[in-house]
Amino acid sequence: MAEIGRIAEVAGYLWEKGWAERNGGNISVNLTDTLTPGELAMEPVQAGIALQEPAGELKGDVFYVTGTGKRMRYVAQAPFANGALIRIAGDGASYDILAEKPIPPTSELPSHLLMHNYLRASGRQTKVVLHTHPTDLIGLTHCRPYLDSDKLTRLLWSMIPECRIIVPKGIGIVPYEIPGTLALAHATIRQLSRHDVVFWEKHGILAVGEDIIDCFDAIDTLSKSAQIFFSARAAGYEPEGMNDRQLDDLADAFQL
């Protein structure tokens, strides 16, 4: 399970970045394609846990998910003491916990599974949902004028060329909802038809993708843009930002 090593690597980055206070953030990765038939058929340590909403596209799929209340800095050190493998049941309505201890999954499981389910139904190869709490990006969601997808995307793209290239679909914004709720989950999947990165107002950021390192990099690049913006402001000037022409030229040059 080489993928577990990459999950642990990213969990360590989240902590080092200061994006993972206490148990902040959570990760789910669909491991089905990487597991042997024996691993996929593992005996559960806890079976038949009902899902709040069925995930019919994910029948039989196995995910690594971080545990609720678990700290990213410890996920980095011991992924299976701070997370679990879960397998979605054949009817898509419940899941089993397979290994190693019956660690209850993240409270954001409804969002994670709804996203995986939606993305699979859309024919995408997404394997990863990464949710974290970057200080600078969350800070931007406290500013009403920036709670606008086009405006915030434009601002962050314009701070550094890489942002336009690495986050080509820009960012979606979900108005504040109580963490862990189906309401948050449903509002989030509505953003995924257009975006791979979604901001949860006054709470956190999530990225979806095929590869966990790419998901981390997308959020890290957005965070870099936010830091450039805030440091210019702190120095007493309004950052000029790249202009529309410069951003469009990047789209042409990189076929975005």
Select the span of 75-83, 106-114, 153-161, 243-251 touching ligand 13P (CB under 6 A).
106-114
The active-site residue out of 108, 201, 210, 238 is 108
Q: Is 23 in the site for ligand 13P (CB under 6 A)?
A: yes
Ramachandran assignment for 47, one of left (phi > 0), alpha (psi -120 to 50 degrees), beta (any other) = beta
Q: Is 134 in the site for Zn ion (CB under 5 A)?
A: no
State whether the Cα torsion 53-58-59-60 is positive or negative: negative
Instruction: Decide if 108 is catalytic.
Output: yes
CB neighbours (10 Å) of residue 148?
12
| Among residues 14, 26, 167, 187, the one that binds ligand 13P under rule CB under 6 A | 26
Q: Is 204 in the site for Zn ion (CB under 5 A)?
A: yes
Q: Is 25 in the site for ligand 13P (CB under 6 A)?
A: yes
Contact pattern from residue 157 through residue 186 relative to ligand 13P, giving x for each residue in contact according to CB under 6 A and a dash for the rest: ----------------------x-------
**Size of the residue set binding ligand 13P (CB under 6 A):** 11
User: For residue 76, what are its two tokens?
Assistant: 């980095």
Q: Which does 69 bind (CB under 5 to 8 A by kind): Zn ion, ligand 13P, none?
A: ligand 13P
**Burial zone of 27 (CB within 10 Å; 0-12 exposed, 13-18 middle, 19+ buried):** buried
For residues 193 and 161, what is the distance between their CA atoms, to the nearest angstrom? Answer: 24
Minimum distance from CB of 227 to ligand 13P (Å)? 21
The CA-based diameter of the chain, rounded to the nearest angstrom, is 61
Looking at the Cβ atoms of 24 and 172, the one nearer to ligand 13P is 24
Q: Which residues pair with residue 169 across a beta bridge?
A: none
Phi and psi dihedrals of 174, rounded to 5?
A: -110, 120
Minimum distance from CB of 158 to ligand 13P (Å)? 29
CA distances from 117 to 44, 130, 145, 208, 242 (A): 22, 15, 32, 12, 37
Q: Is 69 in the site for ligand 13P (CB under 6 A)?
A: yes
Residues of the shown chain interacting with Zn ion in the complex, contacts defined by CB under 5 A = 204
Positions marked active-site:
108
**Which residues are at the interface with ligand 13P (CB under 6 A)?**
23-26, 66, 68-69, 106-108, 179
